[in-house]
Amino acid sequence: MAAETIIRTPEQQWTSLDPPPPGWDAPMPGDKQWWMTILFVWSGLLLVVTFSWFFVGKQNVPTLKREVTPASIQQEVEAFVAKYETEPGSGIVEVPPGEDAYLVGEMWNFSSVLKLKAGHEYTIWYSSVDVVHNPIIAEQRYTFTAIPGYAYGIRITPTTPGEYLVYCSEYCGLGHQDMATKIIVEP
Ligand code: CUA
Protein backbone atom coordinates (compact mmCIF):
# COMPACT_ATOMS: atom_id res chain seq x y z
CA MET A 1 0.00 0.00 0.00
CA ALA A 2 1.40 3.40 -0.94
CA ALA A 3 2.27 5.73 1.90
CA GLU A 4 -0.49 8.09 2.74
CA THR A 5 0.11 11.54 1.29
CA ILE A 6 -1.16 14.26 3.49
CA ILE A 7 -1.72 17.61 1.88
CA ARG A 8 -2.05 20.47 4.29
CA THR A 9 -2.88 24.08 3.95
CA PRO A 10 -0.35 26.55 5.42
CA GLU A 11 -2.64 26.92 8.43
CA GLN A 12 -2.37 23.24 9.18
CA GLN A 13 1.13 22.90 10.57
CA TRP A 14 2.99 19.63 10.77
CA THR A 15 3.40 18.28 14.24
CA SER A 16 5.86 15.69 15.49
CA LEU A 17 2.95 13.28 15.90
CA ASP A 18 2.24 13.23 12.18
CA PRO A 19 3.88 10.62 9.96
CA PRO A 20 6.83 12.11 8.05
CA PRO A 21 6.05 13.26 4.51
CA PRO A 22 6.89 10.77 1.77
CA GLY A 23 10.41 10.98 0.45
CA TRP A 24 11.86 12.34 3.70
CA ASP A 25 14.51 9.61 3.74
CA ALA A 26 15.74 10.18 0.19
CA PRO A 27 19.55 10.63 0.02
CA MET A 28 20.79 14.19 0.21
CA PRO A 29 21.68 15.74 -3.16
CA GLY A 30 25.40 15.62 -3.98
CA ASP A 31 26.09 19.35 -3.63
CA LYS A 32 24.41 19.45 -0.24
CA GLN A 33 26.50 16.52 0.89
CA TRP A 34 29.63 18.42 -0.09
CA TRP A 35 28.60 21.50 1.82
CA MET A 36 27.73 19.44 4.86
CA THR A 37 31.15 17.75 4.69
CA ILE A 38 32.97 21.08 4.42
CA LEU A 39 30.89 22.41 7.30
CA PHE A 40 31.70 19.50 9.59
CA VAL A 41 35.40 19.51 8.75
CA TRP A 42 35.59 23.27 9.28
CA SER A 43 33.75 23.24 12.58
CA GLY A 44 35.89 20.33 13.75
CA LEU A 45 39.01 22.26 12.81
CA LEU A 46 37.84 25.36 14.68
CA LEU A 47 37.11 23.25 17.72
CA VAL A 48 40.59 21.72 17.67
CA VAL A 49 42.28 25.11 17.15
CA THR A 50 40.23 26.72 19.92
CA PHE A 51 41.08 24.12 22.51
CA SER A 52 44.69 23.52 21.53
CA TRP A 53 45.35 27.27 21.55
CA PHE A 54 44.61 27.18 25.24
CA PHE A 55 47.72 25.04 25.70
CA VAL A 56 50.10 26.36 23.04
CA GLY A 57 49.15 30.03 22.72
CA LYS A 58 51.36 32.62 24.39
CA GLN A 59 48.39 34.83 25.12
CA ASN A 60 47.17 32.86 28.07
CA VAL A 61 46.72 35.10 31.05
CA PRO A 62 46.57 34.90 33.93
CA THR A 63 48.73 31.94 34.84
CA LEU A 64 48.77 32.49 38.60
CA LYS A 65 46.00 33.00 41.08
CA ARG A 66 45.79 33.33 44.84
CA GLU A 67 43.28 34.46 47.41
CA VAL A 68 43.93 37.76 49.13
CA THR A 69 41.98 40.27 51.14
CA PRO A 70 41.73 43.93 50.18
CA ALA A 71 43.80 44.76 53.26
CA SER A 72 46.52 42.20 52.54
CA ILE A 73 46.93 43.19 48.89
CA GLN A 74 46.93 46.84 49.91
CA GLN A 75 49.80 46.10 52.28
CA GLU A 76 51.75 44.26 49.60
CA VAL A 77 51.26 47.14 47.19
CA GLU A 78 52.32 49.76 49.71
CA ALA A 79 55.47 47.81 50.57
CA PHE A 80 56.22 47.36 46.86
CA VAL A 81 55.72 51.04 46.03
CA ALA A 82 57.72 52.19 49.05
CA LYS A 83 60.59 49.87 48.12
CA TYR A 84 60.94 50.69 44.44
CA GLU A 85 59.47 54.16 43.95
CA THR A 86 61.89 56.29 41.94
CA GLU A 87 61.23 59.29 44.21
CA PRO A 88 59.00 59.29 47.27
CA GLY A 89 55.50 60.31 46.26
CA SER A 90 56.16 60.18 42.52
CA GLY A 91 53.99 57.11 42.00
CA ILE A 92 56.52 55.82 39.49
CA VAL A 93 57.91 52.47 40.42
CA GLU A 94 61.01 51.05 38.82
CA VAL A 95 60.69 47.31 39.05
CA PRO A 96 63.99 45.41 39.18
CA PRO A 97 64.12 42.68 36.54
CA GLY A 98 62.56 39.48 37.76
CA GLU A 99 60.80 41.15 40.68
CA ASP A 100 57.04 40.90 41.19
CA ALA A 101 55.09 44.00 40.22
CA TYR A 102 51.62 45.16 41.17
CA LEU A 103 48.81 46.75 39.27
CA VAL A 104 46.07 47.04 41.82
CA GLY A 105 42.90 48.99 41.19
CA GLU A 106 41.11 51.21 43.63
CA MET A 107 38.31 53.66 42.89
CA TRP A 108 39.59 55.45 40.80
CA ASN A 109 43.21 54.84 40.15
CA PHE A 110 45.83 52.15 39.85
CA SER A 111 48.56 51.58 42.40
CA SER A 112 51.42 53.05 40.40
CA VAL A 113 53.12 53.67 37.09
CA LEU A 114 55.32 50.68 36.34
CA LYS A 115 58.74 51.01 34.79
CA LEU A 116 60.00 47.76 33.32
CA LYS A 117 63.09 46.77 31.36
CA ALA A 118 62.61 45.23 27.94
CA GLY A 119 63.70 41.63 27.59
CA HIS A 120 63.18 40.67 31.23
CA GLU A 121 60.37 38.58 32.59
CA TYR A 122 58.11 40.05 35.24
CA THR A 123 55.18 38.78 37.19
CA ILE A 124 52.52 41.44 37.43
CA TRP A 125 49.92 40.86 40.11
CA TYR A 126 46.63 42.54 39.59
CA SER A 127 43.72 42.79 41.94
CA SER A 128 41.25 45.27 43.32
CA VAL A 129 40.66 46.58 46.81
CA ASP A 130 37.05 47.61 46.27
CA VAL A 131 34.96 46.81 43.21
CA VAL A 132 35.65 45.02 39.93
CA HIS A 133 38.03 46.93 37.68
CA ASN A 134 39.25 45.90 34.30
CA PRO A 135 42.77 47.11 33.53
CA ILE A 136 43.38 46.96 29.83
CA ILE A 137 46.61 47.46 27.89
CA ALA A 138 44.88 48.43 24.70
CA GLU A 139 47.92 48.47 22.44
CA GLN A 140 48.71 44.90 23.40
CA ARG A 141 45.11 43.76 23.38
CA TYR A 142 45.51 42.60 26.96
CA THR A 143 42.57 42.86 29.25
CA PHE A 144 42.34 41.66 32.84
CA THR A 145 39.49 41.48 35.27
CA ALA A 146 40.60 42.63 38.71
CA ILE A 147 38.33 41.13 41.31
CA PRO A 148 38.51 41.95 45.01
CA GLY A 149 39.54 38.92 47.04
CA TYR A 150 41.82 37.48 44.37
CA ALA A 151 45.19 38.36 42.96
CA TYR A 152 46.02 37.13 39.49
CA GLY A 153 49.55 36.99 38.21
CA ILE A 154 50.58 37.40 34.61
CA ARG A 155 54.07 36.56 33.48
CA ILE A 156 55.12 38.90 30.74
CA THR A 157 58.36 39.72 29.02
CA PRO A 158 58.02 43.16 27.47
CA THR A 159 59.94 43.30 24.22
CA THR A 160 59.14 46.70 22.73
CA PRO A 161 60.25 49.84 24.60
CA GLY A 162 57.62 52.52 24.88
CA GLU A 163 54.83 53.86 27.02
CA TYR A 164 51.71 51.79 27.27
CA LEU A 165 48.49 53.24 28.51
CA VAL A 166 46.59 51.09 30.97
CA TYR A 167 43.04 52.08 31.68
CA CYS A 168 39.99 50.68 33.37
CA SER A 169 37.39 49.29 31.02
CA GLU A 170 34.81 48.16 33.56
CA TYR A 171 32.42 50.85 34.71
CA CYS A 172 33.30 51.28 38.38
CA GLY A 173 31.68 54.51 39.44
CA LEU A 174 31.82 58.25 38.93
CA GLY A 175 35.58 58.51 38.43
CA HIS A 176 35.81 55.53 36.07
CA GLN A 177 36.76 57.59 33.02
CA ASP A 178 39.86 58.95 34.80
CA MET A 179 41.11 55.60 36.00
CA ALA A 180 44.34 55.03 34.14
CA THR A 181 48.04 54.47 34.55
CA LYS A 182 51.04 53.61 32.39
CA ILE A 183 53.54 50.87 31.90
CA ILE A 184 56.83 52.27 30.71
CA VAL A 185 59.12 49.80 29.00
CA GLU A 186 62.72 50.94 28.85
CA PRO A 187 65.29 49.53 26.47
CU1 CUA B 1 37.90 51.05 37.55
CU2 CUA B 1 36.40 51.60 35.83
Q: For residue 16, is pLDDT > 90? A: no
Flag the least confident range among 13-17, 36-40, 62-66, 175-179: 13-17
For residue 108, the ligand 1 atom closest to its alpha carbon is: 1
**pLDDT tens-place string over residues 126-153:** 999 999 999 998 887 788 899 999 999 9
For residue 176, the ligand 1 atom closest to its alpha carbon is: 2
Average pLDDT of the residues in 158-183: 94
Q: Could you write out the three-class secondary structure of the chain? A: CCCCCCCCCCCCCCCCCCCCCCCCCCCCCHHHHHHHHHHHHHHHHHHHHHHHHHHHCCCCCCCEEEECCHHHHHHHHHHHHHHHECCCCCCEEECCCCCEEEEEEECCEECCEEEEECCCCEEEEEEECCCCECEEEHHHCEECCECECEEEEEEECCCCCEEEEEEECCCCCCCHHHCEEEEEEEC
For residue 177, the ligand 1 atom closest to its alpha carbon is: 2
Spatial separation of the C-alpha atoms in residues 81 and 108, rounded to whole Å: 18
The pocket around ligand 1, CB under 6 angstroms, is made up of 105, 108, 133, 168, 170-172, 176, 179
Q: For residue 155, is pLDDT > 90? A: no
Spatial separation of the C-alpha atoms in residues 154 and 148, rounded to whole Å: 17
Average pLDDT of the residues in 57-82: 85
Rg over alpha carbons for the chain, rounded to the nearest Å, is 28
Average pLDDT of the residues in 165-173: 94
Q: Report yes or no: 155 and 121 within 8 Å, Cβ to Cβ.
A: yes
Average pLDDT of the residues in 175-179: 94
Q: What is the pLDDT of residue 55?
A: 81
